[in-house]
Amino acid sequence: MAMPARTEREDLAGARMLVVEDEFVIALEVEFLLRDFGCEVLGPVPSVARALELLGRERPDAAPLDLDLLGGTAVPVAELLASMRVPFALVTAYDPTPIEAPALRGVPHLGKPVGHDTLRRMLAALLDVPRAAHWRHTSRKLRLEGLPRFRPRRLGRPPVGHYP
């Protein structure tokens, strides 16, 4: 008898996720969603310094990463995650394109607010090497198959309303 395929929810069960988010309410929402997916949550941490400190002690399996943090952009965190070979994705209300950091090239990104199913699919894809390797080139950017396109806002401009 063939075993049924694992669902994305089951694929996330037990995964250690680092939440890097400076907005308290959003950080709590992401933490709640990850726990609902069965993940172990590291953090959430609101600043570059706290994220680097936590990464000095812990090794996550993946990380949703906000771009604009207390103490600057998340580029140092992204560089450390990349050097540790920890997959991560940007979950941000801002356009990451103007930032010329090698660690952010080709990184999937989702706009805020992010939906429950979209976040689950993105994290499952990050943890699934064969599926995560299924990238597609579109308009000089890489993006994950099956995830909605990000509609960027300019850096420095606060997000207003809901992003469709």
Output DSSP code: residue 154: -
Measure the CA–CA gap between 42 and 120, rounded to whole angstroms. 17
Given a cut of 80, is residue 161 above it in pLDDT?
A: no
Q: What is the overall mean pLDDT for the chain?
A: 77
Q: Please give the single-letter amino acid code of residue 97.
A: T
Side-chain half-sphere of 50: how many Cα atoms within 13 Å? 14
Q: What is the pTM of this model?
A: 0.71
Show the 3-state SS of 33-75: HHHHCCCEEEEEECEHHHHHHHHHHCCCCEEEECCEEECEECH
Does the 9-144 domain belong in CATH 3.30.413.10?
no
What confidence tens digit (pLDDT) does each residue in 80-116 have? 999 999 999 998 887 766 777 888 888 888 888 888 8
Q: Please give the single-letter amino acid code of residue 104.
A: L
pLDDT level of residue 162 (50, 70, 90 thresholds): very low
Given a cut of 60, is residue 5 above it in pLDDT?
A: no
Q: Which residues contact 151 (CB under 8 A, 6 or more apart)?
A: 111, 163, 164
Domain ranges of the chain: 9-144
36 compared with 140, residue with greater pLDDT: 36
21 compared with 143, residue with greater pLDDT: 21
pLDDT score, position 22 = 92
CA angle 71, 74, 77 (to 5 degrees): 110
Copy the structure tokens of residue 141.
């950017």
What confidence tens digit (pLDDT) does each residue in 115-138 have? 888 889 889 988 874 444 333 333
Region class of 101: left (phi > 0), else alpha (psi between -120 and 50), else beta:
beta
